[in-house]
Amino acid sequence: MEPAAGAAEPATGPRRRGRRRGELTVAAVARIAGVSAPTVSKVLNGRAGVAPETRQRVEALLREHGYQRPEMVQRTPGIEVVFFGMQNDLAVEIMHGVEQVAAENKLAVSFLDVMRQISAGHSWAESLLARRPTGVITVNLGFTPAQQSLLRAGAIPLVALDPSDQPMRGVPSVVATNWSGGIDAGRHLLDLGHRRIAVITGPTERLAAKARLEGVRTALEAGGQALDARLLRSGLSFSFEDGLNHGRELLRLADRPTAVVCGNDLQAFGVYEAARQVGLRIPDELSVIGFDDIAHAQWCGPALTTVRQPFAEMGAKAASLVLALAAGPPLPQTRAEVETTLIVRDSTAPPTVG
């Protein structure tokens, strides 16, 4: 999707939205909550000085009534990208894509890593309310109804990029074709002649991990080769340690796999190390496929076969969506998929005979 025409003008200046009949005012919210209008205003703007129980009561009312502020809104002219942990160069690629679209609209880009805030039980939405950016993009992150309602009440558009779970109603999302990527990985190994194919997934509660696993499973079943449950492992966090620990288990089996599909490239690197520790050569004795195509995938030895996610393109798509939301009415499209690509390198080969 191309950046919305005219997105920069309403994004950088104030905008006014009329109060529709039947909608609550700040004063009405204050009366129902039993607090003052300035207290409601503090909640709407993410300011301190409100008791936790009072803040929760006001937020619940805002969420219940779908409140959105109608008064003149002065935004900070920029897009804020919210991460949960800035993982290797994926975040940088996403930021490059967002920056490309933002620059075309004369907007700044900033980021917020909310790992510590979430661990401490704090709401990152409140800090965004205080800054009031043109729009917010969350990456690999779930959010509560309260957080979504706070941003909506503050008239801050929200787009989810690769959300960890199903986005709530009204929140557009940008995702990669994870299921198709899993199919491509499984089909590639079948075409090479592999039949004992193991899978190490990311956390199965994550949408992306589940879709990649189901893609591999679909490819194997279509090829007449069901996924052996004994060769399936679920990782905790898409980490190197996941690949190393599960790789050790799989490679110690009496009837070990001849190939492993991993939930991401970091897990694949862990399998590389597990193979080295037991003296197996890649790809002569074990084929390995990753997912993501981070920069290190082509630098390791042997170069890693992987499914590429176009992170910069995903960032650009999310930025275009959030600016379109800032410029006008709700979008007819609430989910955008960006295609993955299987990149075949040196870590996959036909299985050895015998």
- CATH number for the domain harbouring residue 62: 1.10.260.40
Residue 250 included in any domain? yes
Tens digit of each residue's pLDDT, the chain (354 residues)? 333 333 333 334 434 444 444 456 777 777 888 888 778 777 776 666 788 788 778 877 877 776 766 544 566 789 999 998 776 689 999 999 999 999 999 999 999 888 877 777 677 887 887 788 999 999 988 777 777 777 877 788 999 999 888 766 678 999 999 999 999 999 999 999 999 999 999 999 999 999 999 999 999 999 999 999 999 999 998 999 999 999 999 999 999 999 999 999 999 999 999 999 999 999 999 999 999 999 999 999 999 999 999 999 999 999 999 999 988 777 777 889 999 999 999 999 999 864
Side-chain-side CA neighbours of residue 4 (13 Å): 20
Burial 200-219 (b: 16+ CB within 10 A, else e): bbbbeebbbbbbbbbbbbbb
Does any domain span residue 147? no
Chosen domain end from 67, 87, 122:
67
The answer to whether residue 143 is domain-embedded is: no
Return the exposure string of 244-279: e unless at least 16 CB atoms fall within 10 Å of the residue's CB, then b: bbbbbebbeeeebbbbbbbbbbbbbbbbbebbeeee
> What global pTM score does this model have?
0.80
**Is 14 part of any domain?**
no
Compute the distance between CA of residue 321 and CA of residue 267 in angstroms, rounded to an integer: 32
Phi, psi of 191 (to 5 degrees): -65, -30
Q: Name the domain count of the chain.
A: 2
- Domain of 291? 178-309
Asked if the structure places residue 15 within a domain, the reply is no
Classify residue 82: in a domain, yes or no. Answer: no
Task: Quickly list DSSP for 149-207.
Answer: HHHHHTT--EEEES-SSPPPTT--EEEE-HHHHHHHHHHHHHHHT--SEEEEES-TTSH
Asked if residue 78 is part of any domain, the answer here is: no
The answer as to whether 51 is a domain residue is: yes
Last residue in a domain, options 67, 96, 118: 67
Residue 290 is part of a domain; what is its CATH number?
3.40.50.2300
Q: Mention every residue, 6+ apart, whose C-beta is less than 8 A from residue 254.
A: none
